[in-house]
Amino acid sequence: MHRRTPDGTLAAHPWVAEVEAVTLTLVSGWDLTVLGGALGIDWSTRGLATFEEVAGQQDHARGHFLVQVDEADGWLLVVEPNGHLCARPGTVAALSAGGTAVSVSWNVNAVQQFTLARAGVVVRCFDPVAYPTGGEQEQLAEELGLPFGDPDADPRPAMLTVAERITGVRLDGYRLLGAEHRTWSATGPTPH
């Protein structure tokens, strides 16, 4: 069942209905080597895999994380099927040290989050269902007109729309779900 999105974001992202859990992160200002170091990528594990193939192989209990990385319009796109390494605000902040990082995540427990960091600092982080207004972080211009906080709307497409507005990268279903991506095992960020 598709919940309504008055702004048309679901129509632009129909594939979200197929994905139970994912973290998508866009990073600018870094190359793959620096990104890999930040995420603890084991370069010897490189392979090619689809989203579906990776989703069933995540082993969170043993610290076995699979990440898929592609380049998209000058950004590095980190795809974590059923993963959450880049969902943590501290990780997003670290990934933005060379520029900007934007993370969109949701899981089977309805935990959803949008995070934007620039130059190592989180500038916006929110749960799109319990959408905050006011407070310490100002609403982004890219959020305007989207159905955050609307109990009748699916916020996942709206989060993707904000990420697209910030980065200029189209997060289409074929790119994410249908194609094979470079895939590595990662241990996650090293605490400082």
Containing structural domain, residue 82: 9-182
For residue 153, being part of any structural domain is answered with yes
- DSSP letter at 154 equals -
For residue 145, being part of any structural domain is answered with yes
pLDDT at 9 over 90: no
For residue 149, being part of any structural domain is answered with yes
Domain count, the chain: 1
For residue 4, being part of any structural domain is answered with no
pLDDT at 167 over 90: yes
Band (pLDDT 50/70/90 cuts) for residue 27 is: very high
Strands (E) in 29-173, as ranges, are 41-49, 65-72, 75-81, 100-106, 112-118, 121-126
For residue 192, being part of any structural domain is answered with no
For residue 159, being part of any structural domain is answered with yes
Interval 79-92: pLDDT, tens: 999 999 999 999 99
For residue 191, being part of any structural domain is answered with no
Q: Say what the pTM is.
A: 0.91
- φ, ψ for residue 189, nearest 5 deg: -65, 145
- Average pLDDT rounded to a whole number, residues 62-87: 92
For residue 188, being part of any structural domain is answered with no
